Structure 1
């Protein structure tokens, strides 16, 4: 599908995977609406073609307002890339006691339910656009993680939430096929995002050494490039694509 002259929503769009994707879409001529929390929006870089919208993806009213803003743009809303997410670590049982059930609920609420909320409300708006060739109207890309398949010690909540994203992919693609909307998921490995900015060079090197090939951390721009490729390939649908250098995570 052509990106130029369209509107796109990117959650978590102020930095990291979402920031790189928002900038890549804007560079291709899309009017991008980058959704993120207020503090992240306040610190986001000013980029031509990107409108930052302070949005909590766990609040359906805020998501609906953001979708209304994006779909009310001069260009048709065609694309959604869900990158918003959190990844706290906690064991089911530790020296501190049982896993905080509220924390588990929060991770699922942000990563899985938040993504589903955006998918649902944005799909309703995309479905109202004029169809293109073969009835195509848009593409939705969700973000899982290799943790969905290889969850490590302390990742019960995170892996469960990302596993839900993987499980959502095919039924969502089937549900939205009649509206001409493709749904795919990217499952990244260890990507060099701001979340890793505070760790030591030695730790980063150890992470890179665990990747079979290439032996380095992934780049947010590689995630963004894959998202653009998914948009461009109309016959891709209902699939989860790992972006991980063939990494399979060890238990810890």
Structure 2
């Protein structure tokens, strides 16, 4: 899939992995639409990226908002690329100090991380399917899971379940959309420098950084963006969840 001239939607595009990916795609000649909450730094981020970037306020869990955002991204050019980075990591134990995990807390995380991913993918696929193929493809949808999908730690009940759902969604979606010439690939990052990580105390961040065997540091958002870029351009990458983690395997705690 050629990046130059394509329209791209990046959810969670105002910060972290989404911001880095949006900037990279814009630098490669894509017109990028940053989807994020109205309260985010979306406008500022789009201005920082430049004329190729447009901020579209959007809650990924809301069907009508996503449908409108996809329509805006498809208005004057073919939507070819979607990168789902929107997500939350609300902690919670199944049985915590205050009792059982509140179901509403669990469902909120699953609704955003998994439901939002499926919602955006479905609306984007509908738009992509109406476009003329370019170089044998109509589009590519890249999702974000996590190594927590496979080695969830204590306190990650909702987060791990939601990211495992994203990984599990990948292959059946890729198989289904193959007839429409649309690929679906998921990236499962390890420990990365993101706003979620920045919320931890410095000591905790340093401790987490040493858990990655090599390179022994936190991953950088531009490294995630580089893989997303390669996925777009490599037509044989399809239906797979790719770990981007420096060989880290998370312990229970």
TM-score range, shorter chain: over 0.9
Question: For the residues of structure 2 that align with 1:202 and 1:112, how far apart are their CA atoms?
Answer: 31
Question: For the residues of structure 1 that align with 2:12 and 2:177, how far apart are their CA atoms?
Answer: 23
Structure 2 unaligned regions, length at least 5: none
Question: For the residues of structure 2 that align with 1:199 and 1:151, how far apart are their CA atoms?
Answer: 18
Q: Which residue of 1 aligns with 2:158?
A: 157
Q: Which residue of 2 aligns with 1:238?
A: 239
Please give the secondary structure, in 2, of the residue aligned with 1:166.
Answer: helix
Q: Which residue of 1 aligns with 2:13?
A: 13
4+ residue runs over 6 A deviation: none
Per-residue Cα deviation, 1:145-164 (whole angstroms, up to 9, x for no partner) = 00000000011111010000
Q: Which moved more, 1:103-112 or 1:191-200?
A: 191-200
Work out whether residues 46 and 53 of structure 2, in 8 Å CA contact, stay in contact via their aligned partners in 1: no
What is the count of residue pairs matched by the alignment?
Answer: 250
The 5 A counterparts of 1:36-185 are 36-40=36-40, 41-44=42-45, 46=47, 47-48=49-50, 49-73=52-76, 75-134=77-136, 136-185=137-186
Question: For the residues of structure 1 that align with 2:243 and 2:226, how far apart are their CA atoms?
Answer: 14
Question: For the residues of structure 2 that align with 1:237 and 1:207, how far apart are their CA atoms?
Answer: 31
Question: For the residues of structure 2 that align with 1:77 and 1:53, how far apart are their CA atoms?
Answer: 15
Structure 1 residue 132 displacement after superposition: 2.1
Structure 1 residue 42 displacement after superposition: 4.6
Work out whether residues 187 and 243 of structure 2, in 8 Å CA contact, stay in contact via their aligned partners in 1: yes
Question: For the residues of structure 2 that align with 1:121 and 1:212, how far apart are their CA atoms?
Answer: 39
State yes or no: 1:195 paired with 2:207: no
Please give the secondary structure, in 2, of the residue aligned with 1:222.
Answer: helix
